[in-house]
Structure 1
């Protein structure tokens, strides 16, 4: 496989992304766009991206605005900017109805992209992310409103270790998370964190118009994910893949199991 780093100039930010192409595209080869979570970067997908490319799929992995190599961002990430940025990636790289794979914030972003342009994508895989269209109780809305101010009270030097412990279960995953979180300032992380909330827009009648995959770690206790994802699976009549021993960063805690589930899902999607 070959890999290249591409930049996409945007308003207030230059987006960096990795484009991995297979040596021999499969007959049912797809284009896969993988979106990471708040505070992380595209390297979290390394194991799964390589596995998908080995199967003959082209895999595009951006560092979202304000993350990883896509820093500094003069204009910080907001829900609206993240949607526009991702649409620009699809346009500039001329991706043909890519399969969207999103984790956490990236999962909320992927859901919103499909909701706004269902014909522009061929499948949606969401990992450890809240259900955008799902109901929110008054208590859940309050918790969302208080999360940002609460994190501002954490001393800067303790924020990355705290977030890593809350996100990952295995030592390698915690180390990778802490390193990623430590690269961002507190303000950069909180800007990404708060970008999630506008994506949560309850709509009881909404159903995903594309093949849908839902994956979460069985030890993920982040926000409402442990309750909203099972409810989402029931509403959509799809299986929920719960990975044993994994936390919020299921792709880092259980890289092989996550890769296997994603590979199986992408292979089922019709290339037509």
Structure 2
């Protein structure tokens, strides 16, 4: 990625395949970077989509962050990128925190995107049990208690199941100081605001790794799919980073959804 958008003190690095196809913006998760979508970006580009990947501020190539990472800043960055590239109602696809951002942006402006693809991400507006609320509250202190040198290895092992995906996760997590990662985690929690009556106003695709044990994703996403009346796609041989654990299956799920979306728009 060689392009950059200077916004709010940070050079946001991005890649844009260009072309006249339906635009798809791929947003990575907390602590990761655009590399996690390498397989999906190429797959979609070859099939004629205009693919945009980027690194959130403080992640990957978008450093320094120029201030604390917050949910509002991340949302403003994503909206600024869409406006900068003059994308016409892109499909927003995000993994983990990227999925949280996509949900929040669509909720604020239903006309901004034509569809939403959420991969291994929490349900922003889903109901939370007492235990789930406690876990969300305790996660940041628990992360802060971990030795900084152990965090990349622990996060990689918790996020991925294949050796190659874990290796890349260690690379990505090693780029971010522990305190910054905890700040990003806190921002993600800010986006989880229960509102059980809310329904996504655009076509929705839900994808989850079979072995994703992050937070309450494994239990909440099936309930989310049922509430929205959509099919949850469960990716075999994959954990939280299903885009890298089993890229072919994720590619197929995204392609099927986009093909259906394209037919409906004709």
Alignment TM class, shorter chain as reference: over 0.9
What SS does the aligned partner of 1:208 have? coil
- 1:12 matched to 2:29: no
What SS does the aligned partner of 1:252 have? helix
Which 4+ runs in 1 deviate beyond 6 A? none
Q: Contact 1:128–1:248 at 8 Å: present in 2 too?
A: yes
> RMSD over aligned Cα, in angstroms?
1.2
- Cα deviation code 1:3-53 (max 9, x no counterpart): x6321111131111111235xx5xxx3100011000000111010000001
The structure 2 residue matched to 1:51, chosen from 43, 58, 66, is 43
| Structure 1 stretches lacking a partner, 5+ long | none
Residue 126 (structure 1) aligns with: 118
Q: Taking structure 2 as the reference length, what is the TM-score of the superposition?
A: 0.96
* CA distance in 2: counterparts of 1:66 and 1:138, whole angstroms: 32
Residue 98 (structure 2) aligns with: 106
- 1:96 matched to 2:84: no
Q: Taking structure 1 as the reference length, what is the TM-score of the superposition?
A: 0.94
What SS does the aligned partner of 2:106 have? helix
* CA distance in 2: counterparts of 1:125 and 1:167, whole angstroms: 19
- 1:268 deviates by 2.0
* CA distance in 1: counterparts of 2:144 and 2:108, whole angstroms: 33
The structure 1 residue matched to 2:109, chosen from 100, 117, 141, is 117
* CA distance in 2: counterparts of 1:105 and 1:142, whole angstroms: 19
Residue 214 (structure 2) aligns with: 222
| Structure 2 stretches lacking a partner, 5+ long | none
Q: How many residues align?
A: 264
- 1:173 matched to 2:162: no
Residue 158 (structure 1) aligns with: 150
- 1:76 deviates by 2.3
- 1:87 deviates by 0.6
- Cα deviation code 1:144-201 (max 9, x no counterpart): 1111110111111111000000000000000010110011111121111111111111
